[in-house]
C-alpha cells in the first residue's frame, strides 16, 4: 500500500528521526502546525507502515564497547537452512549490531562492537 507524503509529513518524519522523544507540541512548533494535526498525521503514517517500531539508540562507548569492526564473510553455503542457522548464531551474539547480505565476492558484512581488554595494535600495510 502506497501512501502520499506531503511536505508537512516529511518535516514530521525528519523531526521524529532527529529525536523521537520530542513531545507533540515540540514537533508541531518545529513543523509549523498544531498538536492535533501532527498527531493525526503520525497515526496515519504509522497505520500505513511508514513509521515502524520506535527504538532507543544506545551509546556503545558509554556501555564499554570501545571498538568497532566490520567483518567480511565469504561462504560457499547458500541454502535456506544454513542461512537460518547462521542468522540465529548472529542474533545470539549481542556484539553483532548489524548484518547485511551482499552481492558479489563477499556474502555478508557484519558490524561488531566489542570491549577492549588491552591496547589495540593496528597494522596498516601499504
Asked if the structure places residue 93 within a domain, the reply is yes
Q: Quick check: 15 and 27 in contact, CB under 8 A?
A: yes
pTM reported for the whole predicted model:
0.63
Confidence band of 108 (pLDDT split at 50, 70, 90):
very high
**Integer Cα distance of 27 and 18 in angstroms:** 11
Please report the pLDDT score of residue 33 as a whole number: 96
121 and 85 part of one domain: yes
Asked if the structure places residue 53 within a domain, the reply is no
C-alpha 59 chain-centroid distance? 13
Model pLDDT for residues 42-98, shown as the tens digit of each residue? 999 999 999 999 888 888 888 888 899 999 999 998 899 999 999 999 999 989 999
Please report the pLDDT score of residue 120 as a whole number: 59
> Which of 97, 18, 12 is closest to 50 using CA atoms?
12
Contacts of 123 (CB under 8 A, 6+ apart): none
Q: Residues 42-51, buried b or exposed e (16+ Cβ, 10 A)?
A: beebeeeeeb
Decide if pLDDT at 10 tops 80: yes
62 and 123 part of one domain: yes
Asked if the structure places residue 62 within a domain, the reply is yes
Amino acid at each position: 500500500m502506497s501512501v502520499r507524503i506531503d511536505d508537512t509529513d516529511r518535516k514530521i518524519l525528519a523531526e521524529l528521526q532527529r529525536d523521537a522523544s520530542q513531545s507533540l507540541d515540540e514537533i508541531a512548533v518545529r513543523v509549523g502546525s498544531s498538536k492535533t494535526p501532527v498527531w493525526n498525521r503520525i497515526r496515519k503514517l504509522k497505520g500505513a507502515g511508514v513509521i515502524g517500531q520506535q527504538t532507543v539508540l544506545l551509546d556503545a562507548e558509554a556501555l564499554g564497547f570501545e571498538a568497532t569492526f566490520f567483518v567480511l564473510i565469504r561462504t560457499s553455503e547458500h541454502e535456506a537452512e544454513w542461512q537460518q542457522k547462521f542468522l540465529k548464531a548472529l542474533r545470539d551474539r549481542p556484539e553483532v549490531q548489524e548484518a547485511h547480505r551482499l552481492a558479489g565476492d563477499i556474502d555478508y558484512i557484519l558490524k561488531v562492537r566489542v570491549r577492549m581488554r588491552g591496547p589495540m595494535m593496528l597494522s596498516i600495510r601499504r
